[in-house]
Amino acid sequence: MSGFAEDHTFQGDGWHFDYISFGEGDRPMLLLPGVGDGFRTAKGLALPFSLLYRTFARDFRVYVLSRREPLPKLWSTGDMAKDIACWMEAEGLEQADVVGVSQGGMIAQWLALLYPQRVRRLVLAVTAASPTPVMEQALSHWIRLARQRKFAAIMEDTARRSYTGAYQRQGVLQSRLVGRLMPPKEYERFLTLCHSCLTHSVSDRLWEITVPTLVLGGERDQVVGAQASLELARGIPHAKLHFYPGQSHGVYEQEMTDFNRRIKHFLLNP
């Protein structure tokens, strides 16, 4: 199997989604990103992702999956999990390790609930089983800004909530620049993803997730709240939990080396 970073498009019945693949390992790993997919899908990002997550390339065949297009206005995180299961069946992937970040973690929860036979091991990073007060405040603010078509303000606010310290200052400046130079063509897709987060609710079903699970959270998460990670770890039988002290929602970027190392160790060591 080729280890090259490649762009792909999966064709469903009247819909499609972009995804990328890289890595030379035989063990499939699915990486599900957050609501940023509403503004830009994985298309054209094969090389950058393969560099960011190169630590997995030797042992895994990594797939980064976007959401479907066209995206129905009312499309839940459970519906998105069904799209992934459809793709897995078409690709002949009987089982995979699943890493869900933020909204991707919500989709991953549904994948483990609806198709437990498809998930070998599960990583839920800076995500939630249901909306928290912190999450409702953050996403409601982004929804208001999106309706006003204020992309630069969304990007800047995301950086302020996601990062800490000097990394935050740099992130705010970069986000402000990107927001002004690269505005999206439309906002409906992003709005749909935000609404799907606010209607996501599996708190009463966490006990049904029986696959080995690692929960990664930021102690100062200003997007979903630290309590969200605690709920996941307490509700999922035998789940392991690691909190990053002083870190917020963007810990997967700010502490990328350790973040990826912990995931790799968990996936490869029973």
Q: Is the CA virtual torsion 118, 243, 25, 104 positive or negative?
A: positive
Q: Is 162 among the domain residues?
A: no
Rounded Cα distance, 107 and 81, in Å:
5
Is there a domain that residue 183 lies in?
no
Q: What is the pLDDT of residues 236-263, one digit of tens each?
A: 999 999 999 999 999 999 999 999 999 9
Contact 121, 215 (CB under 8 A): no
Each residue's pLDDT tens digit, 104-141: 999 999 999 999 999 999 999 999 999 999 999 999 99
Residue 18 is part of which domain span? 6-132+201-268
Q: Mean of the per-residue pLDDT values for the chain?
A: 95
CATH, residue 222: 3.40.50.1820
The angle formed by the CA atoms of residues 193, 224 and 215, to the nearest 5 degrees, is: 100
**Residue 146, domain member (yes or no):** no
Do residues 86 and 12 touch, judged by C-beta distance below 8 A? yes
Instruction: Answer yes or no: is 191 within a domain.
Output: no
Number of domains in the chain: 1
Looking at 110-170, which runs of residues are DSSP E strands? 119-125
Residue 74 has pLDDT above 70, yes or no: yes
